[in-house]
Amino acid sequence: MVIGGGVVGMSIAYGLVKAGDKVIVLDEGDDAFRAARGNFGLVWVQGKGAGNIDYARWSLASARRWKAFGQELESLAQIGLELKQEGGLRPAFAHADLDRQLHEMAAIRDAIGCTYPYQPLDAADVRKLVPSAGADIVGAIFSPMDGHVSPLRLLRALVSAFVRLGGSLCTGEAAQRIIPRTDGFEVVTMKRSVRSGRVVIAAGLGCRALAPQVGLEAPVHPERGQVLVTERMQGFLPYPTPHVRQTGEGVIQLGDSKEDVGFDDGTTTRELGRIARDAIRYFPLLDSVNVVRAWGALRVMTPDGYPIYEASRECPGAFLVTCHSGITLAANHAGAIADWIRGASEPSELHRFKANRFHEFHVQTATQ
């Protein structure tokens, strides 16, 4: 049983059902705070794990597996994902920022232990690559490791393939309690209770309340990201950037903020204004383009921003998975993580991603 029908939960559920397990997914209803709606759609590697080389390795491995994962999913679901992994661009407005990022990239490349390709670009190079790049851009880092995909199509494909392979998706059934039993787990929703041998908690912000019930902890908090989406345009941006990307439909996606506002998924004029202003600096032709939608989505953040992948010692068979990069890590989740949940040995990168690291973290802050 997987609790949570977002990108993380469905990637795992898909991996499990593909491997032959009998899987049920419990998902909340239409009004839920879905982090999946805030996904930008990046399959991104560069710059990640600057302070945590295991995270860099974990992200890179998933990005490498994404193409195969995507092709298989597309053929099982009969839905195109609009995956493009032809590289990504990280433009900078200030040399100081660019230098710092290059420094970080060099450190990752030295420590990661496998190829880590990237290329610094000056302003002229950037404009050769993307002619509409704004004059304020002083340079960028291009990496062939990066790409993007339609988060909407990805989730739809995962659900479709999951159901076709015999999985059960139950929406409108938020899990309220998990009760460990001798032969597995009983999960109570508002409608009924469901039993299973194993349970995976992938419920985003809902992990916080559920994890302790099986001897795990999930100190996650909501971080709002506001996103703007424009009308459809003819293509001009062949590479995604962290804050501006053009989707397969031609729509421009812009974002995003990082705000600590509790469970408020509204939008603010000031923040949308800032996103708009930055977008115009990146690509001045966006100046007169119309914004059609804007929303705030609540991302699932741990105190240090890195994931938690943990198997319960107290209640064997219970697992916790939480991260904020559900898209990039989808390939790993459907592959190595699903295998781990089925009993394979834990991937080596995961040793860093346990919840007890936060106790040490808190102790440190207390003494500062």
Partner 1 sequence: MNSMFRPLLSDQPPLFVYMTIEGRPIRARSGENLALTLLQAGFSHTRLTPVSASPRAPLCLMGACFECLVEVDGRPNTQACMLEVREGMSVRLQNGARRAESGDDA
Partner 2 sequence: MTHDLIVIGGGPAGMAAAVAAGALGLNVALLDEQHRPGGQIYRNVGIADSSVKTLLGADYAAGASLLAQFARARVDYRPGTQVWDVDPARNVTVLCDNRAECLSAPHLLIATGALERPSPVPGWTLPGVMNAGAAQIALKSGPCVPEGKIVLAGTGPLLLLVACQLLAAGADVTALVETAPRGNGISALRRLPRALTAPAPLIEGVRMLAKLRMSRVRWYRHATNLKVEGDTRVSALCFDAGGAHREAADMVLLHHGVVPNTQLTRLLRLEHRWDDAQVAWRPVRDEWGASSRPGVWIAGDGAGIDGARAAQASGTLAALAIAHAGGPLGEAERDRQSKPWWRILARERAVRPYLEALFRPPKWIGVPTDETMVCRCEEVTAGEIREMARMGCAGPNQAKFFSRCGMGPCQGRLCGLTVTQILADAHHTSPQTVGAYHIRAPIKPVALHALASLCATPLEHASDREFSE
Under rule CB under 8 A, residue 243 binds partner 2: yes
Stretch that binds partner 1, among 158-166, 180-188, 195-203, 233-241 (CB under 8 A): 233-241
Contact, 340 vs 325, CB < 8 A? no
Stretch that binds partner 2, among 41-49, 106-114, 334-342, 353-361 (CB under 8 A): 41-49
d(CA 47, CA 141): 10
Contact, 42 vs 148, CB < 8 A? yes
d(CA 202, CA 38): 16
Under rule CB under 8 A, residue 248 binds partner 1: no
- Identified binder of partner 2 from the candidate list 215, 280, 317, 339, rule CB under 8 A: 280
d(CA 165, CA 130): 42
- Identified binder of partner 2 from the candidate list 120, 180, 184, 242, rule CB under 8 A: 242
Query: Per-residue contact track with partner 1, 256 to 275, x per CB under 8 A?
Result: --------------------
Under rule CB under 8 A, residue 303 binds partner 2: no
- Identified binder of partner 1 from the candidate list 71, 132, 193, 348, rule CB under 8 A: 132
> Cβ 162 to partner 2, closest distance in Å?
10
Cα dihedral sign for 167, 168, 170, 173? negative
- Identified binder of partner 2 from the candidate list 11, 143, 328, 332, rule CB under 8 A: 328
Rg (CA), the chain: 21
Under rule CB under 8 A, residue 164 binds partner 2: no
Q: Which option in partner 2, partner 1, none does residue 43 bind, with CB closer than 5 to 8 A by kind?
A: partner 2
End-to-end CA distance of the chain: 42
Under rule CB under 8 A, residue 236 binds partner 1: yes
Buried b (16+ CB within 10 A) or exposed e, 42-78: bbbbbbbbeebbbbbbbbbbbbbbbeebbeebbebbe
Stretch that binds partner 1, among 21-29, 280-288, 319-327, 343-351 (CB under 8 A): 280-288
> Cβ 305 to partner 2, closest distance in Å?
8
Q: How far is CA 61 from the centre of its chain?
A: 14
Exposed / middle / buried, residue 186 (Cβ in 10 Å: 0-12, 13-18, 19+): middle
Contact, 332 vs 65, CB < 8 A? yes
Q: Which residues contact 74 (CB under 8 A, 6 or more apart)?
A: 80, 81, 157
> Cβ 234 to partner 1, closest distance in Å?
5
Under rule CB under 8 A, residue 205 binds partner 2: no
Total chain residues near partner 2 (CB under 8 A): 79
Q: Which option in partner 2, partner 1, none does residue 278 bind, with CB closer than 5 to 8 A by kind?
A: partner 2
Stretch that binds partner 2, among 13-21, 293-301, 306-314, 340-348 (CB under 8 A): 293-301
